[in-house]
Amino acid sequence: MTSIIVSLVIPFTFSDEGEYRIRLSGRTSIIKIEHIKNSEGLEKTKGIRIVGAPKIIPDDPSGLHYITKVEISIPLFPDESAGEWVLNERFVSYVCMKYLSRLTEVIRFTTHRYWIRMISVRDIDIFRMETEDETGRKPSLAFRLGFPEGFIFQPIPIYEQTSKKNLIEKILVKGNRLPLSENLLLDSLNYFFQVNFLKR
Amino acid sequence: MIINISLEVFVEEFLTDRFIAEGNEENTANQLVDRLFDGKFHTTIRKAFFKNMTEEEIKIHDIWIKFENVRTKRKHVTHPHTKIPSYNETYRVFLDVISIRNWILTLS
């Protein structure tokens, strides 16, 4: 059987480390979760040195100390082509998001950790994809840095902050009130792209 | 849902600004807007932006069709037992709301 092995980073934590088998749409994938220490920025800001691997209790949902390294092994159905999967990174991101959301949802349900963040495609940074069959693993694509979704949102134009510098300063200095309709529009877009189907 | 509310608030803000630009005091402008919003949002839109059109003209108006789509999807969300909109249908609502907003802004 051929599998696609996807390695990715999520910029926060949402589960304990370990291996999880998750069944979705008739396909059982294996998810390996590892927490990677990420506190250099915090150490520099606070001027302290954190030694070892501090345990954040109950967890670290904002990624202040740790990020999550994930390896997902997705078995392919007999009629599926590995080549088509690895060429469609956006689709692979979506499938990974579905598995990780399922994991998050179940952990939240069982632990009552209501603050656990739902994972969206935007949170997924794939850095390696491989195929694996009876002959072993083969690298499929060399990877770039950054998020595949980027910040390309079609409904409204997105600006560089520098291009709005004068307007930002003017609003901040004058204390102007922002139109509620704009805030609501931006909220709904944010919910939509985080796949929060109840609020969008 | 929030996108629908954002459209209603946008129309309210737009009409308030327009009444003020016409020379009304802010309180008067607010009262005029309240009067327009006395009823369903559908009626408000019709009275504010389509009052000089016939029923037939309204029905085939591109923006009215988008508005109808936005309204239908809102009903689906508020009554989830009828139908849950798909990702693409919801994305279409965003595009329609943006088009409606842009069209309204051309009227100012």
SS3 at position A5: strand
pLDDT of residue A142: 53
Average pLDDT over residues A162-186: 87
Structure confidence by residue, pLDDT tens digits, A55-101: 776 677 888 888 999 999 999 998 988 888 888 888 899 899 999 99
- Whether residue A155 lies within 8 A of chain B, CB to CB, comes out as yes
Report CA torsion sign: A160, A164, A165, A168. Answer: negative
**pLDDT lower than 70: segments of chain B:** 80-82
Assign 3-state DSSP to chain B and report helix, strand, coil percentages, each to 5.
75, 0, 25
Range 37-96 of B in CB contact (< 8 A) with A: 84, 87, 90-91, 94-95
Chain B, nearest residue to A154 by Cα: B95
Q: Tokens 């459209």 identify what position?
A: B7
Taking the C-alpha atoms of residue B53 and residue B85, their distance in angstroms, rounded to an integer, is 31
Token digits of residue A137: 């693993």
Cβ–Cβ below 8 Å for A184 and B2: yes
Contacts for B42 with CB less than 8 Å, ≥ 6 apart:
B71
Q: Tokens 């080549």 identify what position?
A: A83
Contacts for A9 with CB less than 8 Å, ≥ 6 apart:
A36, A67, A68, A69, A70, A125, A127
Taking the C-alpha atoms of residue A64 and residue B82, their distance in angstroms, rounded to an integer, is 42
- Note if the pTM is more than 0.90: no
- Whether residue A157 lies within 8 A of chain B, CB to CB, comes out as no
ipTM, two decimals = 0.84
The residue among A152, A192, A153, A102 whose CA lies nearest residue B89 is A192
Structure confidence by residue, pLDDT tens digits, A15-61: 989 999 999 988 999 999 999 988 888 888 888 887 777 777 667 78
- Counted domains in chain B: 1
Cβ–Cβ below 8 Å for B6 and A184: yes
List the single residue in B7, B90, B98 with the smallest CB-CB distance to A192: B90
Token digits of residue B43: 């009626």
pLDDT band at A8 (very low <50, low <70, confident <90, very high): very high
Domain that holds residue B15: 2-106
The more confident residue out of B21 and A176 is B21
